[in-house]
Structure 1
């Protein structure tokens, strides 16, 4: 327990983490030393190329300036591969939805550093909200928005099916896999976070959600359960990760079927065929799905193909 608490403390404080690594790179490997070439920088600075659809609007920035703590996993991946290497099938559908669905707000639930939220702010005039309970990731999302003049609000809140507080389990494998679910990943510690329901937040904020992305480390059905009133009233389009082997697809199907939603697995080039149910799928990694309040129109898939081609150039 003491070791876990120490690791959690180091994980939450970048200055302590950096000092610890500087000490370890001076140690022999047999004593726990680190390879200096594999130690991330204290601050990661780079420019992230953004996609533009052929014949699409010319507004918004061509790139984002990124300056965040060096060991955050998603910025590290973006730095190495660009947006072309970060879920391009899901991002293409998300960008197409920004252009084709009715007016309304965009909600990035489980935002981490806010990739989807930043794209929505850069490529649309919609109100954008990024929900992220982990303080370090939320600070990075705010920094990205401020450094690039993006109009998006970061909300320090974990959305679920109840209101109050909970413990966020900090993943030992990646800061992108923190979760409210105990045992979801090997952990280095836990931190208390605020928890709320989407329906309650919407009522207080006065927002009218049109697009919602959900990626919360196995608690996606809880997010949907806490927002059923929003789905009934506003009929937003939802992009949601479905992890294998946890019954998440069955739970989501049970929640959404009475609302007459349609579901599409975003895997490979569009168009995507509707599925009879939301399935977990093979493999260890999750897949993003589109939950649509009405059958997806052809123009959505046409735009998605165009955005996919644009994302392939963002390397």
Structure 2
């Protein structure tokens, strides 16, 4: 049964970057582990601090730079970043599991997004490898046979981020890595990219990760001036050194930031602002319709920039969106103006009837 999730409303980004969709069609409420979690909790319950960090880092990315989502699964993060910043960033999603990659492509198509889907695994050496399909959930599929119990394998192509970056002449600003224990190998295959472009890197580290390979990669990044920070709801995030990071692996927070520069007050403020907007996107804001039915009209209408209302002689109001050099204008009936004025300060221009709790 179709499921659409509400996207966070960030007034500052709308003012600076323009409108973006208010919702994302993730197609199904139960097909994959990620979709099931979104059904239960919306974006608010799915790694909200990681989401906020990625969106804050994308917010500061120079126009024309690239974002890599390595281990994209159904492409949630790629879709989220592309929906908000796709007009000025190129987003590339890497997902080797055939069925999951197909869903990722379907989500891209149904939402009219432009991120690139690369149906390949990422490691330290290009070629082919066996992908082990987890009995637990498709989100645990890995090139590491020991990661989860499995009964099936599939042969998949493998690339490196260095090879991909050179081939595309890309300028990555942000890399997200979630590859189920082989983070060190992905980093080892990206060291030239790191040296040349100094991207920000968000990665998941699990207790079963290959800590020898990861440790070697972290040593190189430390020599290049990278700091290591555990993503946590509270900020600022203290730096961790190569020697003690393993003490924190296995905690409730499992995503880390490899930062090429010191974390500033403005960065932490951006993360907190995004986090607040993401936490408003809980299960009550989900939109679900019966199988075969269409979403209501306007379900994905873009958020608007700040709007002002000017009274007209006939009692209606003229609304002017501060969005373009040629301000779009249209008459707004008095009843609509009253409905909008009843929202709390800071609330988004959003039709709540489209997102009733199910």
Length-normalised TM-score, structure 1: 0.82
Q: Which residue of 2 aligns with 1:146?
A: 109
SS at match of 2:262: coil
Q: Deviations over 1:15-38 (max 9, x none)?
A: xxxxxxxxxxxxxxxxxxxxxxxx
Shift in alpha-carbon separation, 1:232–1:144, aligned structure 2, 3 A = same
Give the drift of 1:68. 4.4
Q: Distance in 1 between matches of 2:215 and 2:190?
A: 17
> How many pairs were matched up?
272
Unaligned runs of 5+ residues in structure 2 are 283-358
1:99-114 matches, cutoff 5 A:
99-103=59-63, 104-114=65-75
Q: 1:150 to 1:198 in 2, by over 3 A?
A: same
The question of whether the paired residues in 2 share the 8 Å contact of 1:110 and 1:215 is answered with: yes
1:1-315 paired onto structure 2 within 5 Å: 44-57=1-14, 58-68=18-28, 70-103=30-63, 104-124=65-85, 125=87, 126-246=89-209, 248=211, 250-277=215-242, 279-280=245-246, 281-283=248-250, 287-315=254-282
Q: Matches of 1:129 and 1:260 in 2, distance apart?
A: 26
Larger relative contact order, structure 1 or 2 (CA cutoff 8 Å, min sep 6): 2
TM-score by length of structure 2 reads: 0.73
What are the superposed Cα offsets for residues 255-283 of structure 1, whole Å, 9 maximum, x if unpaired?
31222111111022232122223613253
- Three-state SS of the structure 1 residue aligned to 2:157 is strand
Gapped regions of structure 1 (runs ≥ 5): 1-43
CA contact (8 A) 2:33 2:138 kept: yes
Q: For 1:69 and 1:102, how far apart are their aligned partners in 2?
A: 35
Rg comparison, structure with higher value: 2
Aligned partner of residue 56 in structure 1, secondary structure: helix
- Looking at secondary structure, tell me which structure has more helix per residue: 1
